[in-house]
Structure 1
Amino acid sequence: MPNITKEFVHKMLCNLPDDKKMDFAVSCARYGIKPEIAESICAPIMEKAIEYYKYWSDNNGKR
């Protein structure tokens, strides 16, 4: 699993198609969030989501 950092999220966003980049920018503007802040917020959320997904995938959804 890659280390999910602000820089990782930034690179991922840079690789999006232009229309998706625009969607991200518009969403940030709509809610008054600077894109740099959104990247910082997304990194730990994405890391936890991937850990959660991996846990459930490895255990076939069983606790």
Structure 2
Amino acid sequence: MLINDVKRIQTWDAQYSAMCNEDGGIIDDLIVYRYPEHYMLVVNASNIQKNFDWLIANKDDPC
């Protein structure tokens, strides 16, 4: 879903990334923040619902 390996982000750091569709097309650019127990995505305000729907629809994809 994202072009970066978010597991490599250190706790309390952030990384600029892109969210891609199944063909590699860019859905949105975003910033991923890593906290001790979770991650937070900061997306463009106009794409919140579109990004949320994409993540929910593809959350079980093992890619």
TM class by smaller structure: under 0.3
Choose between structure 1 and 2 for higher RCO, CA contacts under 8 A separated by at least 6 residues: 1
Greater strand share, 1 or 2? Answer: 2
Q: Please give the TM-score of this superposition, normalised by the length of structure 2.
A: 0.28
Bigger Rg over Cα: 1
Greater helix share, 1 or 2? Answer: 1
Q: Please give the TM-score of this superposition, normalised by the length of structure 1.
A: 0.28
